[in-house]
């Protein structure tokens, strides 16, 4: 599993980072071809050792070059496609495909036919990717072509063979050389877009997405669906054969819904919508209520049944095996799971969508397949149980146990909403107290100390399996008790509110840092690390003390952020570095606190309104680092400059690797 996380981290870190450099300089010129046709010449001057990728570089690798021709309608028409000069071809070990790129100087030619004689300029937007030694950056330019005055006497034949004819228009004075270049470009770029090894690149997308799906299974929002799945299929699967059949239908439905739902949300709202959904207060509150209702039903308070008319229709079509119900269970899993897998799915869709074609579908299929496989096993499990003899009484014990789990996990969603709003209604001590009460009640039930409505009779003796489970639950209950006084409870990392989100004023989780020790605008972050929540204030302090900055793009409801803080930042090899050698600026990308009206604006990157603090830092992360998933860690100098050639770090629980990344970044920043 550690290897899976490492591969996933590499994927997100590679895709989600960028440096602010400008390795490509763009220029433009115009050559007249006939009385109505012109050649637009675009030149890219590329810095030494950098590569600019071709329009035809295969999918699955670097982003291809794209030209967008504006103000076309009623003014001009494109004649054919944009032609380019000869490119180089090299195999990429990272993407495992042949990539096509330019170095030095690259020229591109687009022929246009003018339909509006009054047209004075043509605007073209160029965007592509340039790379050096594995580090890549987006390059873009707005090019403006000033059109020459078109006169019949200055017509130049498209296939002019008389090289002694001299053009009279000064703009066309470079026609002979440019025509040769255009002809050469046409010869070199008439090759159809390469398709060799595309299948291999799609397999790479599938494999990485599949690993991402398995990593997502460890997210806390997935756990509540396990009891719901087992309980639902206990009724659906009366035999082992029915269990296998229903499980297969369930798995296929999960895959279909994930692919369709992910593609629709991304197509309509954009990939960042998935991240917004995962931190939505409304979304988390709805699922808190939903899981509490399910939990009470499991515990025997009432039965959740379909309306009688629905039940009659389903019974009349029993041969279909309750396909409708199975489909809605799959839909519930997909929607609930977005509460914490949204950032992973969003990153996956952003990258696969940039490659076009089948890549988004292949990526979502790989991700959903990894989610579906274990849930198919959970769906088969009740069929196996029901096929066993004397299953009635102890199956109710299983159902009640799942109800307690459901009730506990419901409070995770309520905690998410409270963290995003920063209301401090469900702080760490109260959350842990609720969990202690739930698990203690579960332990007493397993020990046979009381009965619930659906229990048949109070047993004088309990089975060995039930006793073992009771001991495990009791041990876990006692494990949580020290958390009321500030113990980190690393097993629950990502599930409980962070240690510093506490009602205690005595410094639990603050590492002994008192308010008198804090600089202006700072607060005691995790483990007593001095932290800022505003970029400008933190940067000013970093300049004052002469230390580099660790930007921490995080979220109040970000489970992986808490895992990093609880399991990596707390390590004695890491904590002294964070306390003494950097200035920590934590930017919360999911906070719904509204900005003052004079600070609200429309993002130049996404075109969306920036209204809340979370919007502001999300826009900052996307525009500067081309990433919208948290956590993301960036080391910058105390004058706010990124470190050239030094990439940010995403979620990574390898302490030694994180330590080396910190030390390398600090050393590089100290040289600036």
User: What is the per-residue pLDDT across 412-432, written as a single tens digit (0 to 9) for each?
Assistant: 888 888 887 778 888 889 999
Residue 266: band (very low, low, confident or very high) from pLDDT cuts 50, 70, 90:
low
Q: What mean pLDDT value characterizes the chain? A: 75
pLDDT of residue 513: 54
Q: What is the pLDDT of residues 350-361, one digit of tens each?
A: 455 444 456 667
How far is Cα 575 from Cα 550, in angstroms, rounded to an integer?
13
What percent of the chain is predicted at pLDDT more than 70? 69
Span 157-174, mean pLDDT? Answer: 35
Alpha carbon 243 to chain centroid, angstroms: 34
Report how far apart, in Å, the C-alpha atoms of 385 and of each of 176, 243, 381, 570, 599 are: 83, 10, 6, 43, 59
Q: Which tokens in the block code for residue 410? A: 């419901």
How far is Cα 638 from Cα 538, in angstroms, rounded to an integer?
9
Span 179-205, mean pLDDT? Answer: 45
282: pLDDT strictly greater than 90: no
pLDDT of residue 360: 66
pLDDT of residue 538: 92
Do strands 632-636 and 24-32 pair parallel, antiparallel, or not at all (unpaired)?
Answer: unpaired
How far is Cα 265 from Cα 314, in angstroms, rounded to an integer?
31
Residues 6+ apart with CB under 8 A from 8: 208, 211, 212, 215, 344, 651
Span 618-638, mean pLDDT? Answer: 87
How far is Cα 649 from Cα 658, in angstroms, rounded to an integer?
8
Span 11-15, mean pLDDT? Answer: 45
SS3 breakdown of the chain: % helix, strand, coil, rounded to 5?
50, 15, 35
pLDDT of residue 389: 46
Residue 434: band (very low, low, confident or very high) from pLDDT cuts 50, 70, 90:
very high
Span 63-81, mean pLDDT? Answer: 84
pLDDT of residue 200: 42
Helix (H) or strand (E) holding 175, with range, is helix 175-189
pLDDT greater at residue 598 or residue 189: 598
DSSP three-state, residue 444: helix
Span 186-193, mean pLDDT? Answer: 38
Are 464 and 394 contacting, i.e. CB atoms less than 8 angstroms apart? no
DSSP code at position 612 = B
pLDDT greater at residue 284 or residue 532: 532
Are 15 and 131 contacting, i.e. CB atoms less than 8 angstroms apart? no
pLDDT of residue 515: 61
65: pLDDT strictly greater than 70: yes
Across 101-120, b (16+ Cβ under 10 Å) vs e yields bbeeebbbbbbbebeeeeee
Q: What is the pLDDT of residues 639-649, one digit of tens each?
A: 889 988 888 99
Residue 76: band (very low, low, confident or very high) from pLDDT cuts 50, 70, 90:
confident
Q: Provide DSSP, 282-301.
A: HHHHHHHHHHHHHHHHHHTS
pLDDT of residue 218: 57
555: pLDDT strictly greater than 90: no
Are 115 and 31 contacting, i.e. CB atoms less than 8 angstroms apart? no
* Nearest alpha-carbon partner for 628 in 260, 166, 270: 270
Residue 635: band (very low, low, confident or very high) from pLDDT cuts 50, 70, 90:
very high
């Amino acid at each position: 599993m550690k290897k899976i996380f490492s591969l996933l981290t590499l994927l997100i870190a590679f895709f989600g980072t960028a440096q602010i450099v400008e390795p490509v300089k763009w220029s433009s010129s115009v050559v007249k071809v006939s009385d109505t046709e012109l050649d637009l010449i675009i030149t890219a001057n590329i810095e030494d050792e950098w590569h600019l990728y071709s329009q035809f570089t295969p999918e699955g690798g670097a982003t291809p070059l794209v030209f967008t021709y504006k103000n076309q309608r009623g003014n001009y028409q494109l004649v054919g496609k944009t032609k380019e000069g000869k490119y180089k071809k090299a195999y990429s070990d990272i993407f495992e495909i042949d990539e096509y790129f330019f170095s030095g100087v690259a020229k591109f030619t687009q022929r246009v036919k003018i339909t509006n004689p009054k047209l004075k300029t043509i605007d073209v937007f160029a965007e592509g990717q340039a790379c050096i030694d594995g580090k890549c950056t987006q390059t873009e330019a707005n090019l403006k072509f000033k059109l020459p005055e078109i006169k019949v006497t200055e017509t130049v034949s498209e296939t002019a063979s008389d090289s002694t004819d001299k053009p009279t228009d000064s703009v066309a004075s470079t026609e002979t050389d440019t025509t040769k270049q255009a002809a050469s470009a046409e010869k070199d770029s008439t090759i159809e877009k390469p398709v060799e090894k595309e299948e291999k690149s799609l397999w790479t997308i599938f494999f990485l997405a599949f690993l991402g799906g398995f990593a997502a299974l460890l997210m806390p929002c997935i756990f509540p669906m396990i009891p719901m799945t087992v309980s639902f299929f206990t009724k659906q699967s009366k035999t082992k054969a029915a269990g296998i059949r229903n499980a297969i239908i369930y798995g296929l439905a999960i895959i279909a819904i994930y692919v369709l739902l992910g593609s629709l949300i991304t197509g309509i709202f954009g990939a960042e919508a998935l991240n917004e959904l995962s931190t939505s207060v409304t979304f988390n509150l709805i699922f808190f209520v939903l899981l509490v209702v399910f939990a009470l039903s499991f515990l025997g308070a009432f039965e959740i049944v379909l309306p009688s008319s629905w039940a009659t229709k389903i019974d009349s079509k029993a041969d279909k095996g309750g396909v409708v119900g199975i489909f809605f269970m799959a839909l519930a899993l997909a929607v609930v799971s977005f509460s914490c897998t949204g950032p992973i799915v969003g990153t996956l869709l952003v990258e696969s969508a940039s490659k076009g074609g089948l890549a988004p579908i292949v990526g979502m299929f790989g991700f959903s397949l990894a989610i579906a496989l274990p849930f198919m096993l959970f769906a088969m499990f009740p069929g196996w149980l029901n096929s066993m003899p004397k299953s009635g009484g102890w199956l109710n014990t299983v159902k009640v146990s799942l109800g307690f789990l459901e009730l506990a996990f419901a409070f995770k969603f309520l905690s998410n909403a409270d963290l995003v709003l920063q209301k401090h209604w469900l702080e760490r001590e109260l959350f842990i107290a609720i969990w202690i009460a739930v698990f203690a009640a579960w332990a007493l039930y397993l020990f046979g100390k009381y009965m619930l409505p659906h229990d048949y009779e109070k047993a004088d003796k309990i089975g060995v399996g039930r006793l073992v489970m009771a001991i495990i639950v009791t041990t876990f209950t006692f494990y949580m008790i020290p958390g009321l006084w500030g113990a980190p409870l690393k097993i629950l990392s990502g599930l409980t509110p962070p240690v510093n989100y506490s009602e205690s004023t005595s410094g639990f989780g603050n590492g002994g840092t008192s308010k008198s020790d804090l600089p202006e605008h700072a607060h005691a972050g995790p483990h007593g690390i001095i932290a800022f929540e505003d970029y400008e204030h933190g940067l000013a302090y970093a300049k004052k003390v002469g230390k580099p900055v660790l930007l921490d793009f995080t979220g109040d409801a970000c489970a992986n952020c808490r895992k990093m803080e609880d399991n990596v930042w707390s390590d004695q090899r890491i904590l002294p570095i964070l306390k003494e050698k950097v200035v920590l600026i934590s930017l919360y990308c999911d906070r719904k606190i509204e900005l003052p009206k004079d600070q609200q604006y429309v993002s130049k990157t996404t075109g969306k309104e920036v209204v809340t603090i979370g919007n502001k830092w999300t826009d900052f992360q996307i525009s500067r680092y081309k990433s919208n998933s948290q956590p993301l860690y960036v080391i910058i100098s105390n004058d706010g400059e990124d470190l050239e050639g030094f990439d940010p770090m995403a979620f990574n629980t390898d302490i030694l690797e994180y330590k080396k990344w910190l030390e390398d970044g600090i050393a590089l920043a100290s040289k600036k």
